[in-house]
Structure 1
């Protein structure tokens, strides 16, 4: 990249980037990429380098880049009505239509959708609604939220507290003391290597039950979880996990919040992760695939059970005192409508269920004999490669070696973008749902070559 030109200079001088080593970036030591254009599964930087984006931005460009139908829907909406708010019952054609389309796709027991801007603010909304609900029901002490270590639920105040990754806590005075964390359903990193997946699921359930008993079920309002761990390592739940967890929550009258920001709208080869794993949530968090990131939009989907209490609350105490200026923004909603139509007409959910497992399977075959390959895992269009220093003893690399960041950089030189996942030597893949088998082969080849370059 041309690091001394005007644009790079402005970038260093003016732009505070998220999730970035700020000092290195400002000094020009780690300038990153300046992306200029994109189409399908590929992005092109301003120097003309074309790269296969095997992480779909941040798991979010489900339909692929450059879909003119969405761009035209955004432009048409902006010309007709660029903005109007959703307060006191106001709506737009786009926001009402999108709400209807979301609820057509949601599980049958869900009732209404509230629109925000991003997954973090959607999870802030979720917790406020849960607290409101318990106050309406006369349970002011039932307010704690249980999350899981290695979970990712955002980087706001409550959403950052719910996140179970140290990067999002350190020096931010998080997590808040209303949040508790329980065992991560991460079988590969279990302490007792003798446990089968089913036995480890039983341990996760027992740990949750023990935490509820210690805190008191009458103090715990909700359990929040991704159907499948995303940023914490791209980890499918071990066998029997959800079947063991849900009865414990139901017995203790604890709401289940399913964070579908990553898994929603086709990524697992099904419309939602909840239906994929047979979960019955009380609240669902949606974002990313809702618009495929063509415009910011998120959502909180509430069940019939939750909706009835919200109705009761407004009958007793007046209008719900929650909302954002940009809730249900018509441009975001127009993008969502066009996006969901393309998701259907391009048959992308089925493609994710076909090409995604192909990517995971061929990746496992290509790396099977490498001495540092710990595990290749995945579900739908989500894949992870976890590397270890000693395969037999399952000894992990010293984080200071930055093994996976080196591998991801080597992949970039081969024209493929993957993600170095936090808290482990894990290469993450979440390509657009339009990925072809030939493009999957390119991802696998670049990964294998980069691993050999870095580790031999």
Structure 2
């Protein structure tokens, strides 16, 4: 492993003060932390003055990069005008109204109402509660199970972590809870059978879903939730025709499709929504992250009129709609959401993404030729390079060898922040990145991969 420099005083204070999410906590006292101090454009700078291209947009979210003056001005103006208010008990605020209207205008399917949360986890947690509420209102009290997928990521609340199909989100947490089902992961490279075509694989995925539904009973299943592109599961792009195939199964059994657009919304895939890119026809939508370009926490659930009317009907029966968050619809977040959408539109951010997508694709294809990379996956401006011990057989490394995290660290040492998802290195740059910056990001990615290949060979990890 890499030699670790002595911890600075600030790093020591950090380790002694914070619980770091998604971190091997037992290693922190020896490895320390990387403490960022400022950001500018697509670059971030640590407390030692070192600069990095932020190749993950933070956590898939800072689409407009760091330090955008229009966003800062919008935040400042809102804080001076009304720093906080709520939308409980028939109160409201202008930024929430305006943002809801903008979301309805750009939605990929007919949307009537928007419910605001503070995060994507809260949005997906809310999706489950709303599905239960809807079916209670419609006199279907047993139609409550939610289908997710193996390797899906939908958040970290008790329910959204249950929807997440990753062992690290379940082990040690007593999850998943009841009413959550997981169907197959649509990753052809890793789960396709020998001699099976992508079309045959897709048909098998639909067949497996149908069998799950029929085994459980369609009258017990409320919804299926799916990311257009599975992000934290390893940037998994489903085969062509996948969503059309599973949509037919869901429609046949009166099960709604929820699109988790927390990562894929607002231009990331070359369209406003990943649903459009992957030809999904969801009934409801969750979003967050690039909704404000991460300049403030905000999430949202978007629902059509017929579903909203079931909430109205049940509210009439019960006397109120008993759900909400203190910061749901926060004026700062909503004002920044309004400004972010305005910027995406007037600067034609989606057009910029589309212009650079061929370059992104060509550099990802070049990564696929690297001796350490088994598969390079991408969709729009998000990608993942899966590291393998044997390219021919697709044999993975032993997870205990830590090849992915070590590779991400070597890339970081070359001045680029990417993310290891197991042994997949994810890349998700700010959508404002210039052509020269994108090439430089991939150059640093490749330098880190070359160093990782040398380390793997030196340590004999392919035969370990």
TM-score (norm 1): 0.96
Cα 1:3/1:97, change in 2 over 3 Å: farther
CA shift, 1:443, in A, is 2.0
What SS does structure 2 have at the residue aligned with 1:285? strand
Structure 1 residue 364 and structure 2 residue 362: aligned? Answer: no
**What residue number does 2:96 align with?**
95
Cα shift readout 1:304-341 (whole Å, capped 9, x = no counterpart): 23112112222332221000111100011111111111
Q: In the alignment, which residue of structure 2 is the partner of 1:165?
A: 166
1:292 equivalenced with 2:293 (yes/no) = yes
The corresponding residue for 1:397 is 397
Question: 1:222-250, CA deviations, whole angstroms, 9 ceiling, x for partnerless residues?
Answer: 10000111110101110110110101111
Q: In 2, distance between residues paired with 1:263 and 1:85?
A: 28
Instruction: Return the alpha-carbon distance in structure 1 between the equivalents of residues 121 and 6 of structure 2.
Output: 33
- Distance (whole Å) between structure 2 residues aligned to residue 439 and residue 108 of structure 1: 35
CA contact (8 A) 1:228 1:273 kept: yes
CA distance in 1, matches of 2:406, 2:112: 46
CA distance in 2, matches of 1:254, 1:271: 25
Q: Deviations over 1:119-178 (max 9, x none)?
A: 001111110000000011111111111000000000110000000000000010000121
**Are the counterparts in 1 of residues 371 and 453 from structure 2 also a CA contact under 8 Å?**
no
Q: Residue 295 of structure 2 aligns to a residue in which SS?
A: coil
CA distance in 1, matches of 2:162, 2:109: 31
Q: RMSD value over aligned CA atoms?
A: 1.5
In structure 2, relative to structure 1, the CA distance for the partners of 1:249 and 1:367 (3 Å cut) is closer
Cα-to-partner distance string for 1:21-69 (whole Å, 9 max, x where unaligned):
22322x2x22221111111111011111110011000000011111011
CA contact (8 A) 1:359 1:437 kept: no
**Structure 2 vs 1, CA of residues 46 and 182 (structure 1 numbering), >3 Å: closer, same or farther?**
same
Pairing of 1:305-454 with structure 2 (within 5 A): 305-368=306-369, 370-422=370-422, 425-454=423-452
SS at structure 1 position matched to 2:143: coil
Alignment partners' CA distance in 2, 1:274 and 1:450: 33
Taking the aligned partners of 1:366 and 1:15, their CA distance within structure 2 comes to: 36
Does structure 1 retain, via aligned residues, the 8 Å contact 2:85–2:331? yes
Q: Using the alignment, how far apart are the partners of 1:175 and 1:367 within structure 2?
A: 35
Contact 2:11 2:33 in 1 (8 A): no
Q: Secondary structure at the match of 1:228?
A: coil
Residue deviations 1:387-440, cap 9 Å, x none?
A: 211111111111111112111111111111111013xx2110011011222122
Cα drift, residue 455 of structure 1: 1.2
Partner-residue secondary structure (3-state), 2:112: strand
Q: Secondary structure at the match of 1:87?
A: coil
Question: Equivalents in 1 of 2:305, 2:429: separation in Å?
Answer: 34
Aligned counterpart, 2:140: 139
1:251-297 C-alpha deviation (Å, 9 max, x unpaired):
10101110000001110010011122222211100000100110000
| Greater Cα offset, 355-364 or 207-216 | 355-364
Question: Contact 1:357–1:378 (CA<8 Å) still a contact in 2?
Answer: no
What secondary structure is seen at the aligned counterpart in 2 of 1:377?
Answer: strand
User: Equivalent residue of 1:75, what SS?
Assistant: helix
Q: 2:364 touches 2:377 (CA, 8 Å); kept in 1?
A: no
**Any residues of structure 2 matched to 1:1-400 within 5 Å, and which?**
4-25=7-28, 27=29, 29-368=30-369, 370-400=370-400
Gaps of 5+ in 1: none
**C-alpha contact (below 8 Å) 1:146/1:182 kept by paired residues:** yes
* Divergent runs of 4+, >3 A: 1-6
Distance in 2 (CA, whole Å) between partners of 1:455 and 1:9 is 32
**Deviation sequence 1:336-367 (CA, Å, 0-9, x none):** 11111111122111222232342232231254
Contact 1:356-1:382 at 8 Å conserved across structures: no
User: Partners of 1:3 and 1:327 in 2: how far apart?
Assistant: 42
Q: CA deviation at 1:108?
A: 4.2
> Unaligned regions of 5+ residues in structure 2, if any?
455-464
> Aligned equivalents of 2:257 and 2:384: distance in 1?
26
SS at match of 2:89: helix
**How far off is 1:94 after superposition?**
1.1
Distance 2:321 2:112 in 1: 17
Between 1:358-367 and 1:256-265, the stretch displaced more is 358-367
Query: 1: distance between equivalents of 2:409 and 2:79?
Result: 39
Please state how far the C-alpha of 1:4 moved relative to its aligned partner: 4.8
Output the CA distance in 2 between the equivalents of 1:404 and 1:11: 24
C-alpha distance 416-83 of structure 1, shift in aligned 2 (>3 A): same
